[in-house]
Structure formats: C-alpha cells, structure tokens
Structure 1
C-alpha cells in the first residue's frame, strides 16, 4: 500500500530535525551506494540558482521557455498540492518557468480514470500504479514512448541503471513509465523489536534462535503476567515475519502477498510448503500457550500502538517496527527512564539456518508507482526533461531543502547539499512554513537515503535519530532485492485474477484456523484442506501466471 504524500512529508520533517537529511531507506553508512558523481559540467546540469537548469545541452533547456502541463493522481486518497504554493515549486515556476496544473480524483479515482479514458480527456501526465491500468492506456495508444528521452537526459539513466529501466518495458518493447521512489539500495523496517527494560531485568539472555525466543517468552509470561510476550501486529502479520527465519532467503512476501513460493524456477503452493508449515506450527504453539497476543486476528492498529506506548509488549514482530508512533513512544520512554524504550534485534532464526540469510525485509528497484506522459501533452520531451531534473541531485535538493541560497549554498563532491548555519538555527516549525518536499512524484530514494547516511556519519552518536540507528544496524542489513518479483498481480477479470481473489480468501480462512490449532497434526490437516480448496478454485492458474511473470521479469532485467 502506498504512503500518502502528507504522511511521507511528516516522516521527512521528523528526519530533518535530527539527521539533517531525508530519505526512505538504505543500508549504506557512507554513501558508497551512490553512483559516481559526474565531473563538473559533464552532465549538462547547471546549479539550481541558474535560470537555465537543463538535463542536456542537446535537449530541452529548462527555463528557456514556459512549460505548463496538467497532472492527475489516480488514487482515492491523493490530493495533489497546489503548484507554486510552497517555496520550492514557487522558485521552479519563477526560475525554470514550469507550471503544473493538478487535477484531483475527488475520492473516486478509478471512476474518474475510466471516464477520462472513455472520453479521451486525459491529463498530460498521470501518476498511477504499474500494471493493468498502464497497459490499458498503452493498448489504447494513449501513451508517449520514452525510450529516446531516457537515453538523452542523464538522471534517470544514471540513478536507475539499465537493469531497472529494462523492467519498465512493455510487451511491445518500449518504455512508457517514469518510476517514483525507485532505489538501488537496501531498505525496510521489518523485524523484531524488544522492550529494553524487560530484557535487561530478565538477564539479557541470548535471543538468536526460535528456541531462544520460546524460552524468553516463557520467562516474560511467568514474570510479567500483565504483559504481552509476543505482539504480532494486526491480522497476525508478524507470523509472516517469523517465516523468514525458518528458511534461508525466505521472504515474508511469499505467504503475505504472493500466496505462493518460488522453487526451482516456478511458483508452487504455499499450503504444501514445508517452511510455511513449520512456521504455522511454531506460531500455533505460541498462541495456544498464550505466549503470543490472543487478539492477533481482531485488534486494530491503534490498540497495538497503545500497548507499545504503555510498555506492555516484550517482543514485537512486524513489517514495520519503526513507525512514527513507535519512535515517539521510544523517545518518551527513554526520556523518563534511560533503561526503557525499544531496540531492534537481529532476526530470529531456526537452528541450522544461517543468520546472515534471514531477510524479513525486502525492496524492489522500481519503487512505488509510476508517471506516464499521455498523447494529450503538447511537448512530452519538455515534460520528461523536467521530471529528469527533479529526480537528480539539484531537483531533489531544491524540493527537500529549498532553493540554493537559504539553507544551503553549495554541494559537496557527492552532489549532496552542504547545509548551512541557517538550516541548523532555524526552528523546525519555521522550516515547515516553506512546505518542503511536497511535489516529489519522481522521488529518488537512493539519493535521499545515501545523503541521509552520509550526514549521519558526520554527527555525534547522540545526534543521530533512533530509527536511523536501527536501520543502519539491522533492518537495512536484513533486506533482500525482490525486484524480479514485481508486477506479479494478474488483472482481476482474468482467470488468474479471479483465482487470486479466491485464494486470498482461502488463505485468510485457513491461516486463522492454523493459528488456533490444538496440535501440529491439526495444522497439517488444516493446510491440507486449504490446498484442496485452493486447487478447486483455479489455484494452478495463479501459480502458472506468477511463474510466467517472474520469468519474464528475469528476461527483461537481462535486457532480453
């Protein structure tokens, strides 16, 4: 699920206070994941203080003439901010002569999108998910191919690389998409969080294997009867995090999203998978012995946060153990008692499974969603040139730190803005008035992440924000690249799509039953029933579709 822009900006603002930089995620502590900076002047880019910022001397020169285009975000939750209503985009309008006209979904995105397509009244640019809707536009002949532009302008090609760009190719061999929040670096916030005070009071025992975890949860239950030994988040999602420790390289995505497991070049049933079977038996044991929250399948997110905020959780397994509310709770707890608060531990694993091959986190290089330029655009190359500038160091720095001259005056050798005294001496609430970061719809995660890590490396340890310390120490080091497994979702009106809907419901039903099972034998019987029911609902169609899509991804990544 995509994050809203407003929640993303809230996260960014918090990061700016302590880490002097913004970003999604990275496993680099020194910025070495960043592509080597171009020699001065070789990229064809000028500094943001210039009125002639450009991606290529041979291409469209930003600022040479006015550029105005419309943009629609195809999401119910999304409201595109007014253009030139913040410091960065006002500067862009005044200096680069670019104006964007936002068109809103009104909370009925799919209906509006269908109407726009049916009436041939498309905006110049669309922001939407990769997949069926993009292909629908392509097949209708409504999209501009971008192949030549990718080769002509420097930033997308430099920061994404050919392998990622190849993943954007449609079946006709052309590229129509510009990704948002793409990355070449590890990220993720999944894993295990422990209550530091409880852990210390219980003697700081070894917590490496599932046997260690079981013994620890028993101690918690005996010593703290009012505490939840293991909290697994809403819908028992933390159980899927457990699965990553029962097999080397095993992703929580297999049960959590794909409902299938890749084995020897093809996807096979999750219900017959030995790793998933062992995971459910372990989770069921914890559940019936009340070592796991008894509300896993019914509680709301607010209830989870309340328990964590009140220090009533000993261990928390989740896809996101570093959310804002948890960060805030950790800050308050440590302020009141330095021994309290939370700490991310290295992922727990089964005896015999290498700890260095346990990956509760994953990332994909294509990021979140994509921008496409429609045939309604009068000057598609100019639009691409602007988007390419936005995703480069100058664009990202202008959006997130404001135009050159106020909070920064120069860039270092890595093309990172050198923040000045004004930045550090200006209260955050005053910086918030500049409304930084609102129009990053071609966000470059790699740049922002490596910039954040590079700036953190220059700080004293106590100045680095807690989530950053946890990411660099654990969560980004336990993330694997799953780019080859993107775009595996079939269209809902196809045989595979209909099967996917049915299998999702079957999974949820038998997942709950297995959690409530009274014995290992009962878990086996429940998963056997799930397998039979899924196959009767066309499960093999889904498995075949996911296999073919995965293999096609591998070919695209290889440029075939």
Structure 2
C-alpha cells in the first residue's frame, strides 16, 4: 500500500492570528481572475486529450494534487484507508492531504488561504463560504473553466439546476465554488414524531403547524407530565425548518438575515418581518401552554437530560432530527417501551401562512480551488479529476459504497448490499458486522461522499422510512424560489460582516427572550428600533444596492 503524506495544518500556522486573515486576503489579487481570459489552457500535462461525461478519468501520467481534509471526530483519517488507494488506482492521482480538525475547520481553512499555505483542492464548501475568498482573489473563478467539466455540465442540465448555479455568481458575474448537486430537494432536518402516540390520542400526522398544536394538546392531556415537543439543537434546527412556513428565515438558516420580497422586488430583513413575529408568537404560545420544552432553546442533545433520554422516557413525543435521529430515538425506545411498541417517523416540513413550502436544497457541499493552481502544469488534469470525483456516477457510487464485488454488490434492480463482514454503522447497515467501510476504509466519508447524489444513490443507503419521507416531501411540498443574486464587493463584504455580527446577535438574543417569555411581545417595536439603531437600513442598502448592480450588469 502506497504511503501518503498527511500534513497537520496546526504546525504551520501557530503565528497567524485573525487580523492577518483580513490583511492577507485583501492583499490578494482584487479582480479574482475575472478579466474574461482563461489562464491554464496550455497547462495540459497529465490530462486526457478527450474527456466526456460518464467516462472514467485517468491521468496520462502519475500526478499528485494537494487537498484539504477535515477530520471528523467519529471517523478520524487513517493512512491505511482504502479510499485513497482506490482513487489512485482508478485515476492515477495521489492526494497530498493537509488535515484540519472539524472543531475549528472554518478558521483553519481561512488561515491557510490567507497565509498562502492552502492546498490546491478545498472540499467541504457550502454556498456562501466562498464569498470573501472570491472577492479577494484567493480562489479561482470556476465558471471560467466549466468547459473542462463535462459531468458537471451534464447533471446541471439534466436536473434543471442552471438557474441555481447562476445564483452563485459574485460581483464580477463569475462563480467561485462548484456545489454538490442533488437530484432531489429534501430538507435533512425536520420533525420526528411518535406516530403510535399521535394515533393513540386520535391526532392525525400533522401537515401544518396549527395541526401540530392540536395534536400536542391532545398528547399533553393524555401525558400531563410531558413537554410533547422539543428541539435538541438550542432551537436552531426547529426554527430553521419552521421559518419557511411563516415566510421568513431563522435558526440555522438565518444566514445573512435577508429575505427577498417578491412584491417590492427588494430584500427585507427577516428578523423584523411580520412572518418572523408570527413565528415567534406561535412558539411563545407553545411554551406558555407547556407544549414545548423550554430547555429546547438552552440545551444541546448531549449529556444528562438529553432529548433522546426524554423521548425514551416518554416525556417528549415530537422533536427535531434527521434520518439518523430516527434510529437513535428508536433504539432508545427499544430499551424503555420495548421493540414493536413504538413507531418514530420523520414527517415533511409543516406548512403555514406562507404555504406548504420548503427551502430549496439541491446544493450540498462542493469545493473551491486555490488560485495558485492555475499555474500548475497539471491544471487541466486537476479539473478533469475534480469533475470525475464530484460528478461522475461511478465515482459517487465508489465514494459511498467502496468497491463493487469486494465491499458491496449491486443487483440488477439497483439495490446495494454490503458484503458479509462489512458494515456502515453510521447508517445502521450491518451494524457492527465487522469492517466499517467509513471508519476503517474511508468510504462514505463526510468530506467527499454525499455531496453530489442522484435520487437512487441517496435512497441506496437510507432506510425505507426515509425513502417514504422523500416521497412525501416531493409530492406535497413546493421548494421556495431561490433568492436572486446580490453579491457584495470586497469593501462591502467587510462592512456587511461588521453589521451582520451585531444584528444577528440581537436577533438571536431577543428571539430566545420572546419565545421563553423573558421579554413581552408588546416590546416587539422596541426590539425593531434596537436593530434600526444598529444601522439595519444601512445594511439593507448595501444588499439591495448589490442586487440592483448585479441585475443591471448581468441582465
């Protein structure tokens, strides 16, 4: 097995501090490479002369590319991982990894880029992560090189994602990250409910937040010592998926705080909108009536008294979670109420005054490329390799399942089965049967797997219940239209960052106070005035000015 050079980023950055990030990023080329001329057309060493969608990429000579790797606490990287050897065997590409810990990955990534020490390939990038690096020119405008990525182009068109790709464009009209592409758009976190208990009290599975309240009231009457509803993520998860039904943004999805108002054609501030107030009032009512565990907004799902423990103890009957949480809750209930005596299901996001809408989620984590890579003799080979790695169906299957005939088999009807002696414990597949293909072999990794997925691949490793959840979302919910682009330039980004830090902190603090009853809703106007005193209008002027400028420049 070929050894791999794994570098620990912390050893190279001990003298770099936060202020250096701003200075060094500002010192990078300000135009982001966006002069309309594509460099690197002659940097063809190792590249395939013809490279088409769904074709196996293999460099014409051995090449080595540097990549940033985030170490997940549950599955820290091992030099013996088969994943990297399989990539090398198929592509003739070896990877020189720089490792950073998950706990401070965002900060470490920024420090590496600012210090000029970043690897060429920077994975695990979500939309928005690239903005500051794009404005400073630290990363490449990948839209300039799309012609070298036929798999990306094919699936963007087949899955009708071009409008969303165009929304990634920055102030110069170019986009600087390539996202993971999802064929189907379904929220990862929604509400999990004890269906058997809802059935017991005569409450149907709710379709709206008002229907949920009715069901919770019936459960409270049957189980008076319970708080039927809870969130194990300090409220941030529940407010995120609830906010869309109220026509706003909140919690994990609050982002920069803006929400595009179709009627006015301008961005407004979510945290001061009527929908946000209605959402806060709704959850305040649940707390007042003992239907929502107030610890949901102050505690996380770890340690004593977790939501999982409360679910197992029949103190909670509905809570935030993902497909994996369904299994976690079910396993806990097996120990307390017995197998076969409960049914936990994940339900489609609830509707409300804004309709039966969900957040568009056709993008997942993708990658950026260090601007220095364009001068590498193997630059075109790198683009072809990334296109294969991130968008080729065979590559995506390998990244998730390993090697066909060795770690898994695939039937004629597309069903994946792990071979005896192999498990994927994080998805409860052959749990603890032997070699975990994620922890022991590197497949199904949080860094590379799961970014781009066809519906079939997504369903292949999830439970039948999650497939039912996908069907329910696709058949009953409508994705909200993506917001139009409003990319800020470098100076505006710095100004906006200062403003949003203060504004978001005020929103989060007062959202908690309003919901928990520590501040009366009669003080809503005073809260709005506090935000206005923090130059809220100046921030909105920045965003709407950028929106108008981009529209005028790009048609």
Whether TM exceeds 0.5 here: the answer is yes
Checking the alignment, whether the CA contact within 8 Å between 1:327 and 1:466 is kept in structure 2 is: no
Q: CA deviation at 1:143?
A: 4.3
Pick aligned residue for 2:318 from 298, 310, 315: 315
Unmatched segments (≥5 aa) in structure 2: 1-47, 424-433
1:204 maps to what in 2? 203
Q: Distance in 2 between matches of 1:409 and 1:209?
A: 41
2:510 maps to what in 1? 510
Unmatched segments (≥5 aa) in structure 1: 1-51, 457-462
SS in 1 for 2:364: coil
Checking the alignment, whether the CA contact within 8 Å between 1:402 and 1:436 is kept in structure 2 is: yes
2:359 maps to what in 1? 362
What are the Cα deviations for residues 514-541 of structure 1, in whole angstroms up to 9, with x where unaligned? 224499xx41x32111110100101112
Checking the alignment, whether the CA contact within 8 Å between 1:228 and 1:312 is kept in structure 2 is: yes
1:17 maps to what in 2? none
1:68 maps to what in 2? 64
Q: CA deviation at 1:306?
A: 1.9
SS in 2 for 1:445: coil
SS in 1 for 2:327: helix
* Alpha carbons of structure 1 residues 53 and 290: separation in structure 2 relative to 1, 3 Å: farther
1:37 maps to what in 2? none
SS in 1 for 2:228: strand
Checking the alignment, whether the CA contact within 8 Å between 2:326 and 2:346 is kept in structure 1 is: no
Q: Distance in 2 between matches of 1:115 and 1:205?
A: 51
1:306 aligns with 2:304: no
Checking the alignment, whether the CA contact within 8 Å between 1:234 and 1:304 is kept in structure 2 is: no
**Counterparts of 1:209-228 in structure 2 under 5 Å?**
210-228=209-227
Checking the alignment, whether the CA contact within 8 Å between 1:196 and 1:343 is kept in structure 2 is: yes
1:542 aligns with 2:544: no
* Alpha carbons of structure 1 residues 285 and 383: separation in structure 2 relative to 1, 3 Å: same
Q: Distance in 2 between matches of 1:92 and 1:53?
A: 20
Larger mean CA deviation between 205-214 and 324-333 belongs to: 205-214
Q: CA deviation at 1:96?
A: 2.7
Q: Distance in 2 between matches of 1:467 and 1:370?
A: 27
Please report the RMSD computed on the Cα atoms of aligned residues, expressed in angstroms: 4.3
Larger mean CA deviation between 332-341 and 71-80 belongs to: 71-80
1:123 maps to what in 2? 119
Checking the alignment, whether the CA contact within 8 Å between 2:399 and 2:448 is kept in structure 1 is: no
**Counterparts of 1:463-502 in structure 2 under 5 Å?**
464-474=463-473, 477-478=476-477, 480-481=479-480, 483-484=482-483, 494-502=494-502
1:101 aligns with 2:96: yes
* Alpha carbons of structure 1 residues 136 and 336: separation in structure 2 relative to 1, 3 Å: closer
Q: CA deviation at 1:472?
A: 2.8
1:14 maps to what in 2? none
2:257 maps to what in 1? 259
Q: CA deviation at 1:333?
A: 3.4
Q: Distance in 1 between matches of 2:152 and 2:93?
A: 19
Checking the alignment, whether the CA contact within 8 Å between 2:140 and 2:368 is kept in structure 1 is: no
Q: CA deviation at 1:555?
A: 8.2
Q: Distance in 2 between matches of 1:260 and 1:115?
A: 28
SS in 2 for 1:375: helix
1:275 aligns with 2:281: no
1:191 maps to what in 2? 190
1:329 aligns with 2:334: no
Checking the alignment, whether the CA contact within 8 Å between 2:203 and 2:218 is kept in structure 1 is: no
Pick aligned residue for 2:527 from 504, 527, 530: 530
1:151 aligns with 2:151: no
Q: Distance in 1 between matches of 2:83 and 2:72?
A: 26
Q: CA deviation at 1:328?
A: 2.5
SS in 2 for 1:398: helix
Q: CA deviation at 1:277?
A: 2.2
Checking the alignment, whether the CA contact within 8 Å between 1:74 and 1:126 is kept in structure 2 is: no
Q: CA deviation at 1:379?
A: 1.4
Q: Distance in 1 between matches of 2:323 and 2:314?
A: 16
What are the Cα deviations for residues 375-409 of structure 1, in whole angstroms up to 9, with x where unaligned? 24331111111111112012112222334553568
Checking the alignment, whether the CA contact within 8 Å between 2:488 and 2:543 is kept in structure 1 is: yes
Q: Distance in 1 between matches of 2:467 and 2:245?
A: 24
If asked which structure has higher relative contact order (CA below 8 Å, sep 6+), I would say 1
* Alpha carbons of structure 1 residues 135 and 516: separation in structure 2 relative to 1, 3 Å: closer
Q: Distance in 2 between matches of 1:435 and 1:255?
A: 30
Checking the alignment, whether the CA contact within 8 Å between 1:254 and 1:260 is kept in structure 2 is: no
* Alpha carbons of structure 1 residues 176 and 202: separation in structure 2 relative to 1, 3 Å: closer
Larger mean CA deviation between 129-138 and 538-547 belongs to: 129-138
2:17 maps to what in 1? none
* Alpha carbons of structure 1 residues 536 and 81: separation in structure 2 relative to 1, 3 Å: same
* Alpha carbons of structure 1 residues 64 and 342: separation in structure 2 relative to 1, 3 Å: same
2:457 maps to what in 1? 451
Q: Distance in 2 between matches of 1:344 and 1:111?
A: 34
**Counterparts of 1:310-459 in structure 2 under 5 Å?**
310-316=313-319, 318=320, 321-331=321-331, 333=333, 336-350=338-352, 353=353, 357-359=355-357, 361-376=358-373, 377-391=376-390, 392-406=392-406, 419=416, 423=418, 425-428=420-423, 429-430=434-435, 432=437, 433-438=440-445, 441=448, 444-447=451-454, 449-453=455-459
| TM-score for the superposition, normalised by structure 2 | 0.72
Checking the alignment, whether the CA contact within 8 Å between 1:53 and 1:62 is kept in structure 2 is: no
Q: CA deviation at 1:325?
A: 3.7
What are the Cα deviations for residues 122-173 of structure 1, in whole angstroms up to 9, with x where unaligned? 4332336468874655566554554464213311111224434434444344
| TM-score for the superposition, normalised by structure 1 | 0.71
SS in 2 for 1:100: strand
Q: CA deviation at 1:507?
A: 1.1
Q: Distance in 1 between matches of 2:74 and 2:369?
A: 17
* Alpha carbons of structure 1 residues 370 and 477: separation in structure 2 relative to 1, 3 Å: farther
1:32 maps to what in 2? none
